[in-house]
Structure 1
Amino acid sequence: MKAAVVTETGVEIRDVAKPQPKPHEILIRIRAASLNRADLAVAAGNRHGTVGGQGAIVGLECAGEVEAVGADVKDFKPGDRVMSSAAGTYAEYTVTDAGRAHKIPANNMTWEQAACMPVAVQTMHNALVGAGRLKKGESVLIQGASSGVGLLGMQIARHMGASIVMGTSTNDGRRARLKEFGCDLALDSRDPKWPDKVKEATGGKGVDLIVDQVSGGVMNQNMEAAAILGRIVNVGRLGGMKGEFNFDLHALKRIDYIGVTFRTRGPEEVRAIVKAARADLWPAIEAGTLALPIDRTFPLAQAAEALAHMKANAHFGKIVLVTA
């Protein structure tokens, strides 16, 4: 099969062996695969959890048809249209644990649209509802809201009953579009006064829950913007792996600071997260009220160009690879 493989000279399309499903896995004939920020690190030769390094196939999510199932799989059969998080999805085929996969709703959802959903759905539902313990009527702020995951995060927060949904972006054009995706207050995190605007919007209380995809230099501002007994869930580090941390402010506000990643989660925990997200969100996904914009599509043969487009950070919404 054809796949986008990490080599010493960059990502190249090569012929590799077609994978075979283990007893708990399904084999997916990939029709579309969506790009994620973590793919840039893998493409550069770094590791992301258990994947990465020379010879790795890039990619974390896809949509396609089930071609074969393992002996222990009960919920899927060959021919089912599915979307799933999975390793090595810049390819014609991949295998994944059946507990990670969703059947694509029986509506007009395209392969490209379906491929955009799995990582964003499980990441943001877990960050908001699982780790973040969002309650109806609470306020939410998404740092890095103009990313695909961030755009869906704001929609999920609204769907789950948040009273005020706020989002940040340092790009003026993208920030202006956040309202389309459930944002009540769009903020520029370069503005040193943005925490004051959050407090004003929340009647002086501060925001109940922050989902932070930026980290780095915004940590202390997050705590300034947070309510007493607020929660901050760290899901990404686009602004840097390290930054100043005001321990006294953290203690003064009694903030829960929670780190999450799928890299150290076992299969059973991931299955539970996927199941919980499906229970809360699937009717809205089937109705099309939770959806993501597609910025641009590329053929699989242009995987390197698609990654360059993501690295340039000029996109709004998801970038998608399609197979022939």
Structure 2
Amino acid sequence: MKALILTPSTKDVSVQEIPVPKPRDGEVLIRVHAVALNPIDSIYVVHPIAEQEQRVIGTDFAGVITAVGPDLSSSTDLRARIGGRVAGFHQGACSTNDRPGAFAEYITAPYDLLWSVPDGMSLSDASTISMCGLTAAQGVYSRLGLPCPFDDQTGALTTNGSGITNVLIYSASTSLGLYAAQLVQHAARTSGRKIRLIGTASPSKHDLLRKAPYSYDVLVDYRDPNWVDKVKKATEGKGIDFAVDSISEGQTVYSVHDTLAATAKMAVFRGPKGGQYDPSELRIKPIYGAVWEGLGHEIGYNGAIFPANPEARVFATKFFNFLSTAAADGNVKLEPNPVRLMPGGLERIVPDGFTLLGSGLVSKRQDTSRTEDYMRPISGEKIVYRIQGEA
């Protein structure tokens, strides 16, 4: 089979032929139909942290099961049956320890870290959800503690005496922001309490964000030098109770912090080193964790070791079970990000997709000089490539 492989010592990425993997106990073999790109895919190619001679890169995928592990031959779970349409994510080259990547024609994965894609959803759309969706769920439910529709271990709302919980999502039109908003709305329905959802985004995205499933109550322009004051005003001066910083880079962390009430919580998705901020300067310490914890393995990541976290893996399986219920009841739990389906396959991911994503801070992403329509600046969309079959 073909796979997109990084040689960390030279930073070279090329399509190579490697053997098709075989599923072990608890795993399935997936024919990959579509993959979605994330900023970390390009960052850890240009700035490798992988220590192996070669690594298959890539995170998000969707495809069809073609074989199952020996212990799954009689399973009735749709995620463990040949022909099942599934989606999930791998770690790619985003670790020092050897972890599988998704940018290949075939991959194996633990069946319980997959979710069943409903018939009404394309595999291209499904490929955009898994990693960002779990990242958002960890932030909104595990770290901030908002009421969770699939895990009764989380669920508390503070209101500063107003009867309304104020939640801020900074950079609401990013992939992470779009999923975080939907999960906050799930929290509101689960609790039966009023949440005032406030977001920062470019005005061109406000109409989209006011509509379901995001349903923002207040939107401000993040380029407005007075946006912090406008957010505080929207809370009637009480401040934000729970904040999600979808960018988590430098000044975004400090500015979001300035909106917080005294007892607030704030979730970030980059650590101080990668995000270039100093927690010692902040009254309320940002709560950070890596999505990779959900895979249940010890991870070497950005100079830190994340020990195997059984609780995080259990949470991940509950999240994917939650998404899977849409295959039975037709009620989609997370609407996928808008998709930009790119031309070409594995061979075009680096020259086109990675060029759009860049390899530095998301907040300082530069426009390309390319003139093709599919190379226009990326905003509020997920870059998707068809690998094989129908997507």
TM-score of the superposition, structure 1-length normalised? 0.85
Question: 1:69-106: per-residue Cα shift (whole Å, max 9, x none)?
Answer: 2234443122111111124111111112222101112x
Is 1:310 matched up with 2:357? yes
In structure 2, what is the equivalent of residue 12 of structure 1? 14
Alpha carbons 1:63, 1:82 under 8 Å: kept: yes
The letter of the residue matching 1:101 is L
The CA distance in 2 between the partners of 1:78 and 1:3, in whole Å, is 22
The CA distance in 2 between the partners of 1:222 and 1:261, in whole Å, is 20
Is 1:212 matched up with 2:248? no
The CA distance in 2 between the partners of 1:53 and 1:187, in whole Å, is 45
In structure 2, what is the equivalent of residue 24 of structure 1? 26
In structure 1, what is the equivalent of residue 339 of structure 2? 294
Distance change (3 Å), C-alpha of 1:115 and 1:308: same
- Partner SS for 2:343: strand
State the shift of 1:22 in Å.
Answer: 2.4
State the shift of 1:280 in Å.
Answer: 5.4
In structure 2, what is the equivalent of residue 84 of structure 1? 88
Alpha carbons 1:80, 1:103 under 8 Å: kept: yes
In structure 1, what is the equivalent of residue 263 of structure 2? 229
The CA distance in 1 between the partners of 2:54 and 2:220, in whole Å, is 41
The CA distance in 2 between the partners of 1:282 and 1:77, in whole Å, is 14
State the shift of 1:131 in Å.
Answer: 1.2
State the shift of 1:273 in Å.
Answer: 1.9
The CA distance in 2 between the partners of 1:295 and 1:199, in whole Å, is 35
Aligned with 2:287 (options 258, 277, 298): 258
Distance change (3 Å), C-alpha of 1:43 and 1:240: closer
- Structure 1 stretches lacking a partner, 5+ long: none
Alpha carbons 1:21, 1:95 under 8 Å: kept: yes
Is 1:168 matched up with 2:200? yes
State the shift of 1:223 in Å.
Answer: 2.1
- Partner SS for 2:25: coil
Distance change (3 Å), C-alpha of 1:279 and 1:213: same
In structure 2, what is the equivalent of residue 120 of structure 1? 132
Alpha carbons 2:32, 2:104 under 8 Å: kept: yes
The CA distance in 1 between the partners of 2:131 and 2:15, in whole Å, is 24
Is 1:183 matched up with 2:216? yes
The CA distance in 1 between the partners of 2:244 and 2:287, in whole Å, is 10
Alpha carbons 1:213, 1:237 under 8 Å: kept: no
Alpha carbons 1:66, 1:79 under 8 Å: kept: yes
Question: 1:277-309: per-residue Cα shift (whole Å, max 9, x none)?
Answer: 246565679424631211333332311212222
The CA distance in 2 between the partners of 1:184 and 1:295, in whole Å, is 28
The CA distance in 2 between the partners of 1:289 and 1:174, in whole Å, is 22
Alpha carbons 1:139, 1:165 under 8 Å: kept: yes
Distance change (3 Å), C-alpha of 1:9 and 1:236: closer
- Partner SS for 2:275: coil
State the shift of 1:195 in Å.
Answer: 1.9
State the shift of 1:34 in Å.
Answer: 0.8
Identity %: 26
In structure 2, what is the equivalent of residue 194 of structure 1? 227
State the shift of 1:128 in Å.
Answer: 0.4
Aligned with 1:277 (options 296, 319, 323): 319
Aligned with 1:141 (options 168, 172, 181): 168
Of 204-213 and 276-285, the range deviating more from structure 2 = 276-285
Of 107-116 and 143-152, the range deviating more from structure 2 = 143-152
State the shift of 1:231 in Å.
Answer: 0.5
Question: 1:21-41: per-residue Cα shift (whole Å, max 9, x none)?
Answer: 222222111011111111012
Distance change (3 Å), C-alpha of 1:53 and 1:238: farther
The letter of the residue matching 1:306 is G
State the shift of 1:209 in Å.
Answer: 0.9
The letter of the residue matching 2:66 is E
Distance change (3 Å), C-alpha of 1:281 and 1:25: closer
Report which of the two has the higher share of strand: 1
- Structure 2 stretches lacking a partner, 5+ long: 91-99, 147-155, 158-163, 189-193, 298-309, 359-365, 368-376
In structure 1, what is the equivalent of residue 236 of structure 2? 203
- The alignment covers a number of residue pairs equal to 314
Question: 1:265-286: per-residue Cα shift (whole Å, max 9, x none)?
Answer: 5253343122332465656794
